[in-house]
Amino acid sequence: MQILVSPSAHSTVSPTASLRILAIGDSIVYGFGDPVGGGWVERLRRRWMSPGEANHALYNLGVRGDGVRHVARRLEDEFRHRGELRNRVPDLIILSVGVNDSPRLSKPDGKNVLPFEVFQTEIADLLDRSLRLCPVLFVGMIPVDEAKMPFLDCMYYNHADQMRYNEAIRSTCEARQIPHLNLLEIWRSRGSDWCKQQFTEDGLHPNVSGYQALLEDISNWDAFRQWIEP
């Protein structure tokens, strides 16, 4: 059973107030592959800029290729410089990282970019550091299209490793009562044919349809809605 963290447990800001939210992670946060909407973060940011919508400020801090160590190195600086309005600090961090730590290098049975045991330690440290700053939500990885690998002729992403790294993230989040959206499980449950239709030719980044699906999945997530809905 997923344990949700109440917004008020870590912050004095009402979940219905105008929030300052950081989305930090890799190219899926950045929105690579979506020339129409700019990715799920940008689509959400635009929604909140429309008249009649909530006036939340959402910062896209996605960097292509980032893994857990890259995000950890820039976490505090990103947080400190985006409080807005009379030096307020951000109210919420949305993390989404891990898939770039999982692929095999050079060959399908090569070494992982970040060894699994090291990843377990690094993701725990990142989550602990994030929680010391403000409340955290974690948007999990989506499945790749294995038939399109290798990526950039050298990186072999695969479902077996994704499942290991994803489970490490899920269990680490659960131990810290951080809500985790298990998109790997959600997307795989929709079938391989559906999944394949959501990707660009590289088999790693969502296309326009894929990012729209991501936006809907995140928008309908109870832990997310507790923050942004009145």
pLDDT of res. 51 = 67
pLDDT higher than 60, residue 174:
yes
Cα–Cα distance, 152 to 150 (Å, whole number): 6
- Tell me the per-residue pLDDT of 151-163, one tens digit each, with 9 for 90 and over: 999 999 999 999 9
| Across 162-170, average pLDDT | 98
Each residue's pLDDT tens digit, 85-139: 555 789 999 999 999 999 999 999 999 999 999 999 999 999 999 999 999 999 9
Percent of the chain past pLDDT 90, that is, above it, reads 81
Q: What is the pLDDT of residue 55?
A: 81
- The answer to whether the pTM exceeds 0.85 is yes
Superfamily per CATH, domain 17-224: SGNH hydrolase (3.40.50.1110)
| Region 50-54 average pLDDT | 68
C-alpha to C-alpha distance for 229 and 223, rounded to whole angstroms? 11
pLDDT at 10 over 50: no
Distance, in Å, from the CA atom of 104 to the CA atom of 111, rounded to the nearest integer, reads 5
What 3-state DSSP class applies to 61?
strand
Hey, how many other C-beta atoms are within 10 angstroms of the C-beta on 16? 12
Rounded to 10°, the helix 68-80/116-131 angle is 10
Query: In this structure, what token pair is assigned to residue 183?
Result: 């998109």
Angle subtended at Cα 128 by Cα 168 and Cα 205, rounded to the nearest 5 degrees: 50
